[in-house]
Structure 1
Amino acid sequence: MKWVAWEQVGVDRMGCAWLIRKRIDPEAIFEFIPRNAPVPADAEPFDIPGVKFSHHGGHCSFHAFVQHYQLEDPVLHRIARIIDEADTIQAVCVEPAAPGLDLLCEGLRLTSDNDHEALERGAMLYDALYAKLSEELLGV
């Protein structure tokens, strides 16, 4: 399936793409469009205001995927909280990893030739985050 998001990926879009490939659509193809460009009819949009897989109720787009697909993995729920804190305005900061994850994702975007390369690099970061949180939360 083709998935579309705005260009200039950051912490939430990188996380969503990682989640899509890991748990939802391993054969996903990603397309990136300029802000306010029309969404291609043959693609499922994400992290674009007003679509199903976007920010809702103060939560990030990653959270929308976890909820919609009823993913019960506690590590994914923790990652959703971290991305929430990194990507949205929070009254209270409770996830110490959030600012670092946001900073690293921004750096990956800045040092990548394009959004596709940033997603590939970001996938390694999210794999590492998932592994560390699995160890902490599940003892795996």
Structure 2
Amino acid sequence: MNWLIFQYTLPRDHKSRVTLWRRIKKLGAISPIQGTHILPDTPDCLEGFQWLLQTVKEDGGDTLLVHSDRLQGFSDEDLKQLFHQEMRGDYLKLQDELKNPPADLDFRRLLKRFQDLQSRDHFNSPEGQKTARLLQKLREQHNPRVQLPLKKKADFQGRTWRTRPGIFVDRIASAWFIRTFLDPHAVIHYSDESREGEITFDLLDADFTHVADLCTFEVLVHSFEETSPEMLKLAEIIHALDVEEAGVTPPEAEGLKAIFNGYIAQGLPDHDRAEQGGQVLSALLAHFKAQMAGLEVLQ
């Protein structure tokens, strides 16, 4: 595995010393040796260290930034465990709040704290996974979702589906789900004209559509029990874009929305939006799966 190693010195008693320490901590770096800060070698981490490098030089200090595939005395697993330890204390503090929520619970504030921790949890630490489960449990307790009747995939093979034309976030994701997880040969019409024997989605009184606070994509995900952690994370993004609730949105949401808006700007027909959008969603799902498995997903 490849690593970034960052070292710096500042003039004695320089006022920016504490600020730099805080920024290094915010990046999620570990310091197994005093004065040596380490991150996985990814584009985001490299950019973070480069900003620090520039800041130190502007403050009259000296820096060293090295790319390395090994650190003498530390295996890759040793370093990953140090990253887990680095995150443990902050996750435990958040877990205490999740286990004993205040009467005036602000769930979005807790979610934002968790997302901030996730952004520097480079190897999906065990305490991070535990915190995610506690957060989901608390969300369900304070915002119980309707119980959807479960469906059998075998009953939806060789069927024709229909939704309204001009597909965007929820319908693009729903079409991708149907073709990827239900029936790769499904025929999907994007039309206002009904057909006998069709299955409808994201229409008024459709077979699959919004239920309570769930968007159509979420209804499909839960109805067919495709509820892996990576799928639920993707569903959270689709929900945030489709329902557009005020508050915290996943960091990937705006980028996905920009891509889908680009399809409209290009004048793509619905079947092309579904095909190209599906490729993006498949890539996102694969990324989340690798990320949650603690794999190195960026080179």
TM-score normalized with structure 2 length: 0.43
Q: What do the CA deviations read for 1:4-43 (whole angstroms, capped 9, x no partner)?
A: 011111111111111111111111111011xxx3532221
Query: What is the aligned partner in structure 2 of residue 67 from structure 1?
Result: 222
**2:278 matched to 1:123?**
yes
Partner of 1:96: 251
Q: Does 1:138 align with 2:289?
A: no
1:91 Cα offset (Å): 3.3
For 1:99 and 1:6, the matched residues in 2 are separated by 24
The equivalent position to 1:22 in structure 2, one of 180, 187, 191, is 180
- Distance in 2, matches of 1:126 and 1:85, equals 15
Q: Is the CA contact (8 Å cut-off) linking 1:49 and 1:55 kept in structure 2?
A: no
- 1:68-94 deviation digits (Å, cap 9, x = unpaired): 111131111111111000111313223
The residue number in structure 2 matching 1:106 is: 261
Distance in 2 between the 1:52 and 1:93 partners?
Answer: 30
Q: Is the 8 A contact 1:45 1:53 kept in 2?
A: yes
Report the more deviating stretch, 111-120 or 65-74.
111-120
Change beyond 3 A, Cα 1:74–1:111: same
Name the CA distance, whole Å, in 1 between partners of 2:246 and 2:276.
Answer: 30
How many Å apart are 1:49 and its aligned residue?
A: 2.6
Partner letter of residue 88 of structure 1? Answer: V
Count the aligned residue pairs.
Answer: 137
Name the structure, 1 or 2, with higher relative contact order (CA <8 Å, separation 6+): 1
1:31 to 186, 189, 194: 189
CA contact (8 A) 1:4 1:44 kept: yes
Measure, in 2, the Cα distance between the counterparts of 1:61 and 1:116.
Answer: 18
Asked whether 1:5 is paired with 2:160, we answer no
Gaps of 5+ in 2: 1-158
CA contact (8 A) 2:201 2:207 kept: yes
Give the TM-score normalised by the residue count of structure 1.
Answer: 0.88
Aligned residue for 1:26, secondary structure, equals coil
Partners of 1:109 and 1:3 lie apart in 2 by 22
Aligned-pair distance for 1:112?
4.5
Paired with 1:49 and 1:58, the residues of 2 have a C-alpha distance of 15
- Equivalent in the alignment of 1:51: 206
State the 4+ residue runs in structure 1 displaced beyond 6 angstroms.
Answer: none
C-alpha distance in 2 between matches for 1:64 and 1:93: 22
The percentage of counterpart residues that share the same residue type is 27
Counterpart amino acid of residue 231 in structure 2: L
Q: Select the structure of larger CA radius of gyration.
A: 2
2:241 is the alignment partner of 1:86: yes
TM-superposed CA distance for 1:102, in Å, is 1.8
Given that 2:210 and 2:216 are in contact with CA atoms closer than 8 Å, whether structure 1 keeps it comes out as yes
